[in-house]
């Protein structure tokens, strides 16, 4: 048994780990080792990648490329390949992942299973929008190949299907051409939510990437808006920057009432005075936190919760304001708070998170019941505004919240592999 | 003019350590790489991956028997006949279950052959050609387990000890030639071979780091390298522990 935890580090529990390294063997291995669930880099925050005291199928050893067509940008690879492996190898060849989340230390399989999104959702949708084909191995030994036109229902269930439809073993991804590793970026401070929405709307046409950091301790919702476009200016590649590592888990969370206010104030004014027009390397623009290895340890031994929701646009402003209000009332707060608008892209997955509207992501040190009660208050706001909570980040939402947020659940369950079970599935779909 | 590609052969190319060395070699510049292993299917998976990483490299795969000296000789002779060889990496091995080896001499015999005799036969076949051409780098993967016999894995340790002593002799023989022979002694590394160690919560080195040390050691022509390097110190202490202390330890 091996102790495994997810990115939120809320708990560490024993798992019977089975490592996949030879893709031709998975079918055989699965037959005698279910129920269980696939686990890539464990970068999801809650419990979709956990199965305490049960089987966990490590896919990280499935890290081989299979083929690449340099004319069309079609890449076929195993599911345990890291987004980082793809970026580092492909950017010098003039190709890049069309959609990437805020870390490149995730596997391709995990990116599909959670149908991750990036800063360019309004232009290119989610990760799943760029997948041509998925090879799934089911615990009964069936192998299913699916894509947007090949068994499309299976495909739609698998993208964003948090690993429930089978083990993703091979994937065909459509990369997009890119001139080089650099982006033109702008940083613009905003004073309140109205300014944020104006900036987001004004940037939608001209800017591919938009995101913002929000000071969740400010009542009106001030923050820093960032936008970027790929540029063909080529400054060459920069050498690898030195990586910092959080060396140990501090006894208490470093993100707390004392540190948060000065942190947020400092960050806001630092960026406010910052030069607003710069060239950024894609690694520092897309993945700023990857440079601080093990940043999740900052929240101390009890770990932390991520709370990410999406709210339809018409209720967005009021709901976000109410959530900020709740945060102020609770006296708690979040440093890595992200506010971003989603475009009108229809997600391919039945259980995909992104939908048209505005998404807010917050992190909170785990304070046990106190945190859980606080999240229920946020839930009430989200539910009232007909929003939903991101499965990949969740470790605590109620069944009611889950079912109201994901109306295609019953349709999705038809494609589930009954030999797959995770802590998340037991918590929210009963088995 | 097309640049001349380095000719590299990897024996045991489906081992994770070898595969990661190959990834580093093809990243630097296109190479002419021959992958030797037992399973053609697995070799093909490795070659496909490397081909994507380095479309301008050449890849050949060869399937062979790892125990048969005649087959080994034929394979190596043929490879050296075609042209100059820059690097040969001998990386195959398996980590046996010590208790099974104690209980069953068939297991014991097989493990001694695979981990000890076989790498020596490959190395000896290469040494002949490298000495003749007075050129080439030979790198053999040994193990920290070969430094001192321990009750928890001395069959494996004995086989790797054989490799250590063999390389020492070969280095002596080739000392005044341009051939460099490198012995790498990895500590416990995170590979499928050590999956069972993880459950004991042992801290394992990453295979990427170990591969990088191997490639750097070959570049520099170092004679013995511990990977990660801290194992050099740890093993020096273990080698020098008095028997009376050592025998009381449960390692």
Domain spans in chain A, listed from the N-terminal domain onward = 2-58, 65-178, 182-405
Length of chain B: 251
A23 touches chain B (CB under 8 A): yes
Question: What is the pLDDT averaged over residues B72-78?
Answer: 97
Cα separations in angstroms, B123 against A2, A351, B86, B119, B206: 38, 56, 14, 6, 26
Contact A2 B198 (CB under 8 A): yes
A21 touches chain B (CB under 8 A): yes
Length of chain A: 431
**ω into B70 cis (within 30 of 0):** no
Residues of B in contact with A66 (CB under 8 A): 48-49, 52
The CA distance from B113 to B143, in Å, is 15
Question: What is the pLDDT averaged over residues B2-16?
Answer: 91
Is the CB of residue A342 less than 8 Å from the CB of residue A388? no
Q: Which of B41, B42, B199 sits opposite A1 (nearest CB)?
A: B199
- Sorted by sequence, the CB contacts under 8 Å of residue B204 that are 6+ apart come out as B188, B189, B190, B194, B197, B198
Is the CB of residue A378 less than 8 Å from the CB of residue A365? no
**pLDDT score for A252:** 84
Residues of A in contact with B192 (CB under 8 A): 19, 21, 61
The CA distance from B46 to A66, in Å, is 9
The CA distance from A280 to A271, in Å, is 15
Triad A35, A38, A44: Cα angle to 5°: 125
Contact B201 A2 (CB under 8 A): yes
Cα separations in angstroms, A271 against A143, A225, A414: 51, 10, 49
Is the CB of residue B204 less than 8 Å from the CB of residue B188? yes
Task: Name the average pLDDT for chain B.
Answer: 93
Distance of CA A4 to the CA centre of its chain: 19
Contact A64 B201 (CB under 8 A): no
**pLDDT score for B1:** 47
Q: Strand ranges (DSSP E) for chain B? A: 6-11, 31-37, 58-63, 87-90, 137-141, 180-186, 224-227
B29-64 burial string, b = 16+ CB within 10 Å, else e?
A: ebbbbbbbbeeeebbbbbbbbbbbbbeebebebbeb
ipTM: 0.89
Of A329 and B125, which is predicted with more confidence? B125
> How many residue pairs bridge chain A and chain B with CB atoms within 8 Å of each other?
41
Is the CB of residue B98 less than 8 Å from the CB of residue B156? yes
**pLDDT score for A328:** 86
Q: Look at phi and psi of residue A217 and say left if phi exceeds 0, alpha if psi is from -120 to 50, else beta.
A: alpha
A290: exposed, middle or buried (C-beta count within 10 Å: 0-12, 13-18, 19+)? middle
List the single residue in B with minimal CA-CA distance to A65: B49
Other CB atoms within a 10 A radius of the CB of residue A179 amount to: 13
Question: What is the pLDDT averaged over residues B69-84?
Answer: 96
pTM of the model: 0.93
Q: Please give, rounded to a whole number of angstroms, the shortest distance from the CA of A404 to a CA of chain B.
A: 40
Q: Please give, rounded to a whole number of angstroms, the shortest distance from the CA of B198 to a CA of chain A.
A: 7
A61 touches chain B (CB under 8 A): yes
What parts of chain A have a pLDDT lower than 50?
none
B166-202 burial string, b = 16+ CB within 10 Å, else e?
A: bbeebbeebeebebbbbbbbbbbbbbebbbebbeeee
Q: Please give, rounded to a whole number of angstroms, the shortest distance from the CA of A113 to a CA of chain B.
A: 23
Contact A17 B42 (CB under 8 A): no
Q: Which of A3, A61, A77 sits opposite B192 (nearest CB)?
A: A61
Q: Assign domain B6-246 one CATH number from 3.40.50.720, 3.90.226.10, 1.10.3720.10, 1.10.10.10.
A: 3.40.50.720
Q: Which of B51, B55, B199 sits opposite A2 (nearest CB)?
A: B199
Tell me which fold the domain A182-405 belongs to: Alpha-Beta Plaits (3.30.70)
Q: Which two tokens stand for residue A287?
A: 């993945």
The CA distance from A79 to A137, in Å, is 12
A64 touches chain B (CB under 8 A): yes
The CA distance from A274 to A266, in Å, is 12
Contact A21 B198 (CB under 8 A): no
The CA distance from A138 to A153, in Å, is 16
Q: Which two tokens stand for residue A169?
A: 């073993």
Is the CB of residue A124 less than 8 Å from the CB of residue A146? no
Contact A3 B198 (CB under 8 A): no
Cα separations in angstroms, A335 against A81, A216, A221, A306, A375: 30, 8, 13, 11, 17
- The CATH code of domain A65-178 reads 3.30.465.10
**pLDDT score for B200:** 57
Spell out the domain ranges in chain B: 6-246
**pLDDT score for B51:** 97
Residues of B in contact with A22 (CB under 8 A): 42, 45
């Amino acid at each position: 048994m091996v102790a495994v935890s997810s990115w939120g580090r809320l708990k560490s529990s024993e798992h019977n780990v089975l490592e996949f390294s030879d893709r031709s063997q998975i079918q055989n291995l699965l037959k005698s080792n279910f129920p269980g669930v696939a686990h890539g880099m464990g970068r999801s925050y809650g419990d979709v990648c956990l199965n305490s005291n049960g089987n966990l199928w490590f896919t990280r050893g499935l890290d081989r490329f299979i083929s690449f067509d340099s004319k069309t940008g079609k890449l076929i690879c195993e599911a345990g390949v890291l987004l980082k492996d793809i970026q580092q190898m492909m950017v010098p060849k003039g190709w890049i992942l069309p959609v990437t989340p805020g870390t490149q230390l995730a596997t391709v399989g995990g990116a599909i299973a959670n149908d991750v999104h990036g800063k360019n959702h309004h232009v290119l949708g989610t990760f799943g929008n760029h997948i041509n084909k998925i090879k799934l191995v089911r615990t009964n030994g069936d192998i299913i190949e699916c894509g947007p036109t090949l068994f499309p229902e299976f495909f739609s269930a698998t993208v964003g299907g948090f690993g429930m439809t089978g083990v993703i073993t091979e994937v065909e991804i459509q990369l997009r051409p890119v001139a080089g590793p650099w982006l033109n970026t702008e940083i613009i401070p905003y004073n309140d939510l109205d300014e944020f929405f104006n900036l987001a709307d004004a940037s939608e046409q001209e800017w591919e990437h938009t995101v913002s950091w929000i000071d969740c301790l400010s009542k009106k919702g001030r923050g820093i808006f960032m936008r970027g476009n790929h540029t063909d200016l080529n400054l060459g590649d920069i050498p690898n920057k030195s990586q910092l590592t959080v060396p140990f888990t501090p006894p208490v969370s470093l993100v707390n009432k004392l540190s948060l206010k000065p942190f947020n104030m400092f960050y806001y004014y630092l960026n406010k005075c910052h030069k607003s027009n710069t060239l950024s390397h894609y690694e520092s623009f897309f993945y700023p936190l990857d440079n601080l290895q093990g940043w999740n340890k900052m929240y101390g031994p009890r770990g932390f919760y991520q709370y990410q929701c999406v709210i339809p646009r018409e209720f967005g402003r009021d709901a976000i304001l109410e959530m900020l209000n709740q945060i102020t009332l609770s006296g708690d707060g979040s440093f890595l708070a992200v506010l971003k608008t989603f475009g009108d892209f229809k997600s391919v997955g039945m259980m995909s998170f992104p939908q048209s509207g505005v998404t807010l992501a917050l992190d909170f040190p785990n304070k046990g019941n106190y945190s859980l009660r606080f999240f229920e208050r946020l839930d009430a706001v989200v539910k009232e505004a007909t929003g939903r909570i991101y499965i990949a980040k969740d470790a605590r939402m109620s069944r009611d919240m889950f079912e109201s947020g994901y109306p295609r659940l019953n349709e999705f369950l038809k494609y589930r592999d009954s030999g797959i079970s995770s802590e998340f599935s037991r918590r929210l779909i009963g088995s | 003019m097309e640049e001349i590609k380095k000719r590299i052969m990897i024996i045991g190319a489906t081992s994770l350590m070898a595969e990661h060395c190959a990834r580093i070699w093809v990243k630097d510049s296109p190479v002419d790489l021959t992958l030797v292993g037992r399973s053609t299917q697995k070799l093909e998976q490795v070659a496909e991956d490397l081909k994507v990483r380095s479309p301008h490299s050449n890849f050949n795969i060869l399937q062979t028997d790892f125990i048969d000296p005649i087959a080994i000789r034929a394979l190596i002779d043929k490879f050296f006949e075609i042209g100059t060889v820059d690097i040969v990496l001998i990386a195959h091995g398996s980590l046996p279950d010590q208790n099974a080896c104690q209980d069953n001499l068939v297991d014991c015999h097989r493990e001694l052959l695979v981990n000890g005799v076989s790498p020596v036969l490959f190395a000896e076949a290469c040494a002949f050609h490298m000495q003749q051409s007075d050129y080439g780098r030979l790198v053999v993967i040994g193990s920290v387990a070969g430094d001192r016999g321990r009750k928890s894995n001395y069959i494996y340790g004995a086989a790797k000890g054989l490799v250590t002593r063999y390389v020492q002799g070969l280095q002596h023989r080739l000392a005044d030639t341009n051939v460099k022979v490198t012995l790498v002694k990895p500590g416990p590394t995170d590979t499928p071979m050590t999956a069972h160690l993880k459950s004991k919560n042992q801290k394992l080195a990453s295979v990427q780091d170990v591969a990088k040390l191997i490639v750097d050691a070959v570049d520099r022509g170092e004679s013995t390298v511990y990977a990660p390097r801290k194992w050099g110190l740890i093993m020096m202490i273990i080698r020098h522990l008095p028997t009376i202390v050592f025998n009381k330890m449960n390692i």
